């Protein structure tokens, strides 16, 4: 009988820590490519040599307003060189956001702004001052985000407990999947913001097969599945639920829906009728939505 709980994180989950949504990320890339010298330097740092004509075409096409996200641009372009350029620029941009997040955390700026710190709430709801409870919580995380804010914040939280980092590193290694890759495994909080030599980013439509298999294994063994900050993109939903059905008849699947109007929710539900949008979870704060979801009997540990 499934006993695990799986959280599926979308861009809205990281947006709580001032990371960009998909539309914001492509805007950041458009700003970056307006500085040709910096763009060339970034590509050179990653040992990428792009023909000048290819680069000019990339700059022209990505500015098209119909490309509202990086994923949309990559799907439409069908160009491996464009994909490589996007992957490098995404790494650089996310690295910059991680560095800002780390700086704000260390000087308590994000607390002063009363940011929506849902990771802290999750940690406190599960551990109740005992880190072993978090490690034994049967909790899995599937994230579609490239950033490692979730891991960073949990590692910082674990520093409040004796030998907490070792417990948390074991948890992160076993229970967290970046289905489209990340800037690399976070070995230490000091590495947050750095791009690992083992960083891997997989464009939409071409995810790492091992990551997908692990995600399916998480879902097959979960009694409850919770989406947080997710847009329910059809490609991503198909990746998780290829049969358009949940993995067990009694599996509970619910999620937040901030920014989705009733028409959007009905269209999503038409394709995925197992997905439940409970009332009172569309708050503009992920932390409050998370608390409301976890308070339901079917989603308790």
At 8, the pLDDT band (50, 70, 90 cuts) reads very high
| Percent over 90 (pLDDT), the chain | 31
Per-residue pLDDT reduced to its tens digit, 238-268:
999 998 888 888 898 988 888 888 888 888 8
Q: Which of 264, 292, 269 is nearest to 279 (CA)?
A: 292
Per-residue pLDDT reduced to its tens digit, 151-177:
999 998 888 777 778 888 888 999 999
**Averaged pLDDT for residues 45-55:** 86
Tell me the domain boundaries of the chain.
Answer: 4-17+115-299, 22-106
Residue 280: phi, psi to the nearest 5?
70, 25
Residue 2 has pLDDT above 60, yes or no: yes
Distance of CA 288 to the CA centre of its chain: 19
User: End-to-end CA distance of the chain, in Å?
Assistant: 14
pLDDT value for 29: 93
Q: Which of 91, 113, 189 is nearest to 149 (CA)?
A: 189
Q: Which of 161, 164, 116 is nearest to 284 (CA)?
A: 116
**Any idea what the Cα angle at residue 123 is, between residues 118 and 128, rounded to 5°?**
135
Please, what CATH class does the domain formed by 4-17+115-299 belong to? alpha beta
**Averaged pLDDT for residues 115-136:** 76
Residue 168: phi, psi to the nearest 5?
-70, -35
Contact 144, 10 (CB under 8 A): yes
Q: Which of 259, 70, 73 is nearest to 180 (CA)?
A: 70
Structure tokens of 284? 């503009």
């Amino acid at each position: 009988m499934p006993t695990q709980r799986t959280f599926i994180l979308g861009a809205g989950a990281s947006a709580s820590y001032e990371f960009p949504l998909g539309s914001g990320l492509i805007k950041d890339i458009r700003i970056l490519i307006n500085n040709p010298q910096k763009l060339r330097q970034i590509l050179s740092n990653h040992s990428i040599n792009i023909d000048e004509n290819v680069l000019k075409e990339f700059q022209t096409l990505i500015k098209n307003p119909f490309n509202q996200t990086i994923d949309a641009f990559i799907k439409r372009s069908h160009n491996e060189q464009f994909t490589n350029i996007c992957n490098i620029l995404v790494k650089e941009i996310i690295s910059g956001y991680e560095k800002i997040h780390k700086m704000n955390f260390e000087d308590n700026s994000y607390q002063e702004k009363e940011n929506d710190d849902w990771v802290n709430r999750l940690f406190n709801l599960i551990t109740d001052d005992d880190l072993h409870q978090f490690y034994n919580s049967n909790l899995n995380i599937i994230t579609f985000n490239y950033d490692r804010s979730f891991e960073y914040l949990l590692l910082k939280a674990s520093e409040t407990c004796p030998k907490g980092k070792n417990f948390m590193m074991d948890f992160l290694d076993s229970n967290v999947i970046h289905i489209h890759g990340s800037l690399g495994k976070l070995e230490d909080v000091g590495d947050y913001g750095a791009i690992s030599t083992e960083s891997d980013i997989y464009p939409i439509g071409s995810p790492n097969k091992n990551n997908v298999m692990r995600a399916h294994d998480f879902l097959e063994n979960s009694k409850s599945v919770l989406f947080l900050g997710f847009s329910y993109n059809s490609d991503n939903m198909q990746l998780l639920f290829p049969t358009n059905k949940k993995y067990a008849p009694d599996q509970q699947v619910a999620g937040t829906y901030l920014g989705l109007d009733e028409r959007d929710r009905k269209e999503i539900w038409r394709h995925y009728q197992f997905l439940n949008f409970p009332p009172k979870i569309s708050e503009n704060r992920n932390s409050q939505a998370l608390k409301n979801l976890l308070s339901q009997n079917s989603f308790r540990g």
